[in-house]
Amino acid sequence: MLFLCVHNAGRSQMAAGWLRHLTGDQIPVYSAGSTPGVEVNPVAVEAMSEVGIDISGVEPQHWTDEMIGEVDVVVTMGCGDACPVYPNKRYLDWELDDPAGCDLTMVRGVRDEIGRRVDALLADMTGG
């Protein structure tokens, strides 16, 4: 699964963190951006650590053809026309507030919504 957003510094990193937390290494998980930032949002790192998920060691990166080639599902989060579209992939667009520059309370809400969506997507993919 590939999670894409603009800066790959918040939403997509939190989504990848949730999926890795829930599945371990059972599903290939990638996170990337159309215009990667310099670092992962420290408030997103803090919010995820509150639920026992460590995303402190990840870095923003640009999506690659290799990433897309290895996944069946691409989840976009606000990158619009800048996000790639390839044939034979399932695409989902999650409209989520961008946590960039926001306080911890707001980022917690985004974190929790992403967690619910990742959980629902995983249940849909696995039939339960």
DSSP lists the bridge partners of residue 2 as 30, 74
| pLDDT of 80 | 72
Residues pairing with 90 in the sheet: 73
What's the mean pLDDT in 92-114? 96
DSSP conformational letter for 2: E
Query: Please, which pLDDT band fits residue 42 given cuts at 50, 70 and 90?
Result: very high
Which of 19, 71, 79, 121 does the annotation list as catalytic?
Answer: 79
pLDDT for the residue 82: 77
Nearest C-alpha neighbor of 2 from the set 48, 59, 64: 64
Q: Is residue 102 annotated as a catalytic residue, yes or no?
A: no
What fold characterizes domain 2-126? Rossmann fold (3.40.50)
Does 79 participate in catalysis according to the annotation? yes
Mean of pLDDT values over 76-103:
89
User: Which range among 13-17, 51-55, 63-67, 79-83 shows the weakest confidence by mean pLDDT?
Assistant: 79-83
Which of 1, 2, 4, 5 is catalytic? The answer is 5
Asked whether 28 and 70 are in contact (CB, 8 A), the reply is yes
Structure-token pair, residue 125: 């993919």
Residue 91 identity (one-letter amino acid): Y
pLDDT recorded at residue 81? 74
pLDDT the model gives residue 62? 95
Catalytic residue among 48, 77, 83, 107: 83
